Amino acid sequence: MGADRGIHVEFKDGLNPLSVAKVLRALVEAEKPGLLILGKQAIDDDCNQTGQMLAGLLKWPQGTFASKVTLDKEKQVATVDREVDGGIETVLLDLPAVITTDLRLNQPRYATLPNIMKAKSKVIKKYTPGDLNVEIKSDLEVLQVTEPPKRKAGVIVSSVDELIDKLQNEARVI
């Protein structure tokens, strides 16, 4: 386990999930991997969008929130278990595919000093978005941010019958 090399894409400005997905798509087209494994959410903006956008741009199948992944290299498929409200959902993906991970996927390994020293000698290729022919721009423009209107003060009712009457006659929700 481990990596023989790395890729570092240098950015100067802030990023959005679609820009990251476009950069990753360009890297996929150059590197031709058979499987992409991404985290579920970005730590900076908590978006949970890049993996899904990347799968859409590549037109690859996706397994999101994976808690268990089983690869069958002979059949070129991945079986992904994901937690849903009703239990575990299992999806079968043809490879190549994009998988986003859940925190239960594996136990982190802690680097040992000898492995840290080995990692320092590994090749890390550096790119810029321009090297990959990707234009980084925001497709969104924030026009205005306003606070929601102030809420009216609540009402204390003295009985269940009074509550039901107010819900029926004033709020008209039942």
Q: In what order do the strands lie in the sheet with 87-94?
A: 35-38, 97-101, 62-72, 77-84, 87-94
Beta strands in the chain (DSSP E): 5-9, 35-38, 62-72, 77-84, 87-94, 97-101, 123-127
Instruction: Tell me the pLDDT of the chain (174 aa) as tens digits.
Output: 567 888 999 987 777 888 889 999 999 999 999 999 998 777 667 678 889 999 999 999 999 999 899 999 999 999 999 988 889 999 999 999 999 988 777 777 788 898 888 888 888 999 999 899 998 887 778 899 999 999 888 889 999 999 999 999 988 888
Handedness of CA 104, 106, 112, 117 (dihedral sign): negative
Burial-class residue 148 by CB neighbours within 10 Å (0-12, 13-18, 19+).
exposed
pLDDT of residue 135: 87
Query: Which residue has tokens 């949970």?
Result: 48
DSSP codes of every residue in 61-72: -EEEEEEEEEEE
Work out whether strand 97-101 and strand 35-38 pair parallel, antiparallel, or are unpaired.
parallel
pLDDT of residue 43: 64
Query: Which residue has tokens 């992904």?
Result: 80
